[in-house]
Structures are given as C-alpha cells and as structure tokens.
Structure 1
Amino acid sequence: MTRAARDHEVIFFEEPVAGEVPAPRLDLTQEPGGVLRAVPVLPPGMDEQARLAAQRSLLDGLLAERAGQPLVAWFYTPMALGFADHLKPDVTVYDCMDELSAFRGAPPAMLEMERRLLERADLVFTGGRSLYEAKQDRHPQVHCFPSSIDTAHFGQARSGLPEPESMAGIGRPRIGFFGVIDERMDLELVAAFAALRRDWQLVMLGPVVKIDPASLPQGPNLHWLGGRSYTELPAYLAHWDLGFMPFALNESTRFISPTKTPEFLAAGLPVLSTPVVDVVRDYGEAGLVEIVTSAAELAEQAERLLRQKRAPFLARVDARLAENSWDLTWERMQALIQAEAAAFSHQAGRPAAGILPAVAEATGVAHV
C-alpha cells in the first residue's frame, strides 16, 4: 500500500475498535509511507447489524469527499462486503493473502461472502502458488503474486545493527522466529527442539493470538519476547544465527506462502522450515531453505547450517531475491488495475483515468 501511495491516494480502512464514544467516529492518521489510515471507533454494546451500518456510514462519509474521482475498492477479506457491498468502484480487487475460512474462529459466512466477492471482483491476486491453484478456476482474472521482499529494509541486518536490549543476556547460538503466534505454530515441535538442544536459545517474537498463552512451552532456552514493530525487526535478525519457521501442517497452513521466508534470507540468515508446500516449492527445492520434519532432523540440519560458510549461500540468496521485490510486485499489479480501469472507462463512455487516486481497503490486516 505504501508503494501504491506514491502515485495514488490510498485509504486503508481498518476493522473497528471499541471506544467510550457517544457515537461512531472515524479516526484518521496520515502514516509516514503516505497511506491514510482510517479506524472506525464504535460505542460498546452495538449488535452486528448496527456495527455494519456504522462502518458503512463512516466509509460513505469518507468517500463522499472524493466523489467523482476514480475509485479502486481493494479487499483483503470477503467479510468487508458486509459494509462495502454497495460501492460501485471503477475496479474491484480481491487480494487473497490467505485461505481465511480455514483459520480458527473464521465466521461461518466467510465462504459465502467469498463467493460473492469473486462474483463482483475484476481482479483476484493470490499471495502464493497454492492459493493461486485453489482459486484459478473460480475467476477469469486470477494472478499469482507470491510473498515478496523489501530487501533494503531486511538487508540492514547484515550491517551490524546494535543488539536490542531485550536480548541482552541471551546466549548463542540463537535461533529465531518472528510472526503471529497462533494455531499455525507447531508448539510440540518447538518444545521438543528446545528440550533436545538446551544449549541453543530459541527467540520467539510476535503477539499470541487465538491460542492460550499458557499453552506456550516454557524452558530456560525458550524466550517469548512478544510483538515488535516492522522497523525493529532487522536489529533482532542481525543478532540471530538461524531463522526458524515451525509451522504446523494443518488446514490453516495449507495455502500459506510466508512473507518471512525471503525476509529471513534478505537478512542473511539460513532458514529451517517445516514442509509448508509453498516454502518447499519456492525455496526448499532451490536449496535456499532447509526443510525438516522432526526435532531430531531440525537439530541435525541446524548443526550443519551453523558450520557452513555464508558467502556462497548469500550469493545464491541475493541472486534469487534480485528477481523479486515489492516494487516489481506493485508495478505488475498497477498495470493490471490500469488496464481494468481503462476498460471500465471505455464501457462508461468517458475518458480513461490517468491515475487512480483513491484506493478503499475494506478490512484490517495484522503485521508484526
């Protein structure tokens, strides 16, 4: 979205939060990257229909100020149709980053809402090959955009950033994970690995969501440090020895293409991962990520990676990462959007818009 904001006005309309307010309001924040962040603040105690009506009204008020301008409606979740299905944009994009219906606590209506969104979408972007294969027969314009990378941001980890205070006193080697900690993590594998190699330190960054924090395995070499901002991540990765992606193999991980895979690699870290399909196909088969299936195999391969020379590995990593970036991804997405906008303008009998200055993003998305 920050790349889109270089050329367009981008409004990121998030999920609502509860607040002690007499009536629904919209909090607007101009983010440093140029995105206008819009957060609905709703009084407590509203039922679902009232919440949806309030969000619809707030969205309409925001877009009324931009009436007559070209509009792209960009959805990250089908559930946003509950308050945004009345919009009549020039282009509708469904950016399908995950199979959300497979996540714990997914609304029962998710599949029906997705069917409706696919019917009205002009373009469908998928966040990985498995998702693309699952959606390609459901829409004529499905395009695969696997997780990309801000190489410069994560590459800072290679330049000797100061060590974060929260890791002071944690020994080496350090094997790290960052991301949301939820039902997608194989906690049994984490516990078994920590118990097998008590001389190695496992550093786990990220908020605990949808699972009981008490269920997290504990031990002297397990360090659950909580969430950190995107800006802080390179400093942590700079002081780890290996990256670790202990994903459980279940319905919620069947279609994932973890963004953290190229982020670890850009930071210069060798990576170990359980056999998530897209990780295996995109990185494991290329020899850039070590695929493991047990704590014993994890320990064995970690030993090997800790001993290997980094220079040849980093040369292969950099050659691969040079093929992809969020800049290139946005350029390709923008070309598709502009083609759809031109077609819409032609059908409507008006000049094609040179730019699309408003992108209404009708959902919230979590980043660690």
Structure 2
Amino acid sequence: MDAAELEWIGWTTPITTSLGAAVAASDFGGATVACRQHILADTIPIFTPFVEAGARVRLAPCNPDSTDDRTVAHLRSIGVEVQARSGMSVGEMEESLAWLVSEPSDALCDMGGDLIAAAAAAGHRPTGALEATTTGLHRLDGLELPFPVLDWNGIALKNLIHNRHHVGVETWPAFTSITGLALYGREVVVVGFGPVGQGVAARARDLGAVVTVVDLDPVRLVQARHDGCRVAEMSTALRTASVVVTATGFDGVLGEQQLSQVAEGAILVNVGHSDREIDVDWLDRHPITPIRRHLDRYEIDGGPVYLLNRGSLVNLATGLGIAAPQLFDPFAAVMLLGLDAILSGQADNLPNGLQPYPQHLEARIARALASGTT
C-alpha cells in the first residue's frame, strides 16, 4: 500500500485514527498483543499505534475467507507478525492458532473465542482479553477463564449499530456482486432473527424480496411479523426458498437434514461469525463445480444448490470492492481502546471471566460518532 492509500484509510476511519495517536505516544515496550480476527484494511489503524508504541503484535485470522493479502503485506512491513493468507485450509487455520498460542501474551483480542479458549487451556495468564462475537460467547460459555475477558459483543453500540444495520447494508451488495442477481421477487429465508438477522431481513425487504424468518424464539417471531416478514418452521421455509441466509452464531444450523430439504437452485449464504453455520463438510461430499469467485454449485440428489464464499461471512468476502472501513471505524476504536486499557493496567483489578466492556470507553466512542466525526 502506498502513502496515498494509507492516508485514505486514515481519513475513512477518523475515530480510530484520532484515538490511535494517543496510543502511539504510549510506552508499551516489552508488551505482546496476540489477535485472532478478520484481517482487512480497517485493522491497520488498530495495530499501527501499538507497533509505534513499542508493543509486539502477533496476528492470525479467525476466518479463512476474510483476509486481505495486501493488508497482510502492509502489516508485515511495519513489524506485525502475521500468519495468514486469503483462502487458508482448515489445517492452516489450526496451525495459525497453534502458532499464536505457542507463547504467552499480555493482551488478547479475539473474534470467535478460539484464541481465548486455547490460551486458557495452554496455561497462559494474560492481563486481559477482548471478545467480539456471539459465536465466541457461546464457545466460552461454561469455561473457567483464568483472566478477565471484556465482552464487547454485548455493548449497545455494537448491537444497535453494527449488528442491526451494518451487516445488512454490506450483505446484499456482496450477494449481487458475487451472483449478478437482484432480490426483486425472490423468496429469502433468514434463519436467526437477532440484531444481525433483523438488519439483513430489513434490507432484503427494501430491495424487493419476500422475506420469511425462522427462529426458535417465539418473541422474535412476533417481532418479525411486526416488521412485515412471514414466519415459518425451518422445513417449510426451506422448500420454497430462493435464498437462505444463516445469522445465528451457532455451528451446524443448516446440517444434513436441513440441506436435504433445500429447494432446487437455492443459494446458501452465511452472515454469522462461524464459517460452519452451514455444514460445508457435508456439502463437500457431493459433486462440486466452481462457478466464479466465491460461488460454488453442489449437486444434491440431482439438483443444484449454490453456496457463497465457502460458508464464510459473505459481507466480508474479499475482492468485491464493496467494503466500507468507515462503517467499522467505531468498532475498530472499541478494540483499540480495549487493548490500550488492558496494557495500561486498567483491567488489573477486574475479576476473572467474562466482564462487561468498560462503559466509559463505549461512551467516548459514541460521543465521537454522534458528533459526526465519521
């Protein structure tokens, strides 16, 4: 990346860039930060200040299909230790996680809970950690964590803004970019009607789709009806769906039983953090034809079913030209300030286990967002 492009990234992420200047002036020499997350251009303003402050930063991907290789190259050029590339295999993902936990760190930043769980199992005792996803909270539930973990998935700012709006805003341009299809008149089934599913469904309706919601929570089904969506049991919804979108945070939501019921020609999409909400391993046991980048056709009982981005988050599929780092700016700032708080001792007196993300840090970011900084 040249200077002009880096300047543009800084201009489109003003909150993180501004807060990062103070972090860069800190003295974090001798400290180590280990992170497992999506590696896109919006991560550059997060990690550059810690490198400038003297910290050692080690980075691995949380998802095989949300790594931008140009971002990896730039981060390596400024001294970040990165073990990642776009399209890593399952084995390579496991190796990168093992590499990340092969030595202790002072602060962890995780998306999906795997790094935190592995570090705890290895006996590491960082000062603190950050977790960003519903999937990660599911994976950490019930574990005895020997260090504090700041949950920023649960902050109001992320639920009200990123989960509810931003994922949906980016999902459907990605869908159209990959498939060449519009949504007008298509039957879209959204599985999971939490904040992410709500935003995805709302944007689909805006674009002309007929939306059906599947959820185990009857209250959410009532909410879906009030939002103008149909509701149905999974098996009923799948039989007529043109597009099926998973948004639950759980593995195996569409397993063998469900995939066997999907309508011929249906397009399968995931926007939840886990790249196994759709059982890609089961699909891979069937004849597969790559159609174009991020689009594969499977023959199931003689009929075609299509999968986008290998089951990984379609809104973060690389190389589509639709990414908007500005949308993630306040949440990059959440990570920046959270890591800064851990390294500067603000988490020293917190009890072990999951803890709420500091409200005063969220409020600081929200004030900048509300003032129109972005």
Bucket of the pairwise TM-score, normalised by the shorter protein: 0.3 to 0.5
TM-score (normalizing by structure 1): 0.36
Q: Highest relative contact order (Cα 8 Å, sep 6+), 1 or 2?
A: 1
Instruction: Find the structure with the greater CA-based Rg.
Output: 1
TM-score (normalizing by structure 2): 0.36
Q: Which structure is higher in helix share?
A: 2
